[in-house]
């Protein structure tokens, strides 16, 4: 259960990062509210998961999911540069997260 919560919390990290960008410095109400709710749920999920998942593993997985999700969203929807080097770096992040989970 803790791993599922951690995965959802990582996805919510992507949500709050995108909402933060869309809020334009908290000048737009709806994205600002989405940011606040997603941030609270993401942190709450991380806190819950770390009751049974070691700190280093849990935090790295959470950040990895959020970082990869945010980068992919940026490339798919926000016009961020897509290159072989960037995709390779994202694959390396995923490999590291999978490795931490496998070694848990």
The rounded average pLDDT for each run of 10 residues, N- to C-terminus, in the chain (104 residues) is 97 98 97 98 98 94 96 96 97 93 83
pLDDT of residue 8: 98
Model confidence, pTM: 0.91
The angle subtended at Cα 20 by Cα 91 and Cα 70, nearest 5°, is 10
Considering only CA atoms, give the Rg of the chain: 14
Q: How many domains does the chain have?
A: 1
* Half-sphere exposure for 99 (CA within 13 Å, toward CB): 6
Please give the residue range of the domain that contains residue 11. Answer: 2-102
């Amino acid at each position: 259960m803790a791993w599922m919560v951690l995965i959802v919390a990582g996805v919510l990290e992507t949500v709050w990062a995108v909402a933060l960008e869309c809020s334009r410095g908290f000048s737009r109400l709806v994205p600002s509210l989405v940011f606040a709710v997603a941030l609270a749920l993401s942190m709450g999920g991380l806190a819950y998961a770390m009751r049974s998942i070691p700190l280093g593993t849990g935090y790295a997985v959470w950040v990895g999911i959020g970082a990869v999700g945010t980068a992919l969203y940026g490339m798919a929807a926000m016009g961020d540069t897509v290159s072989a080097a960037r995709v390779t770096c994202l694959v390396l992040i995923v490999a590291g997260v999978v490795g931490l989970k496998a070694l848990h």
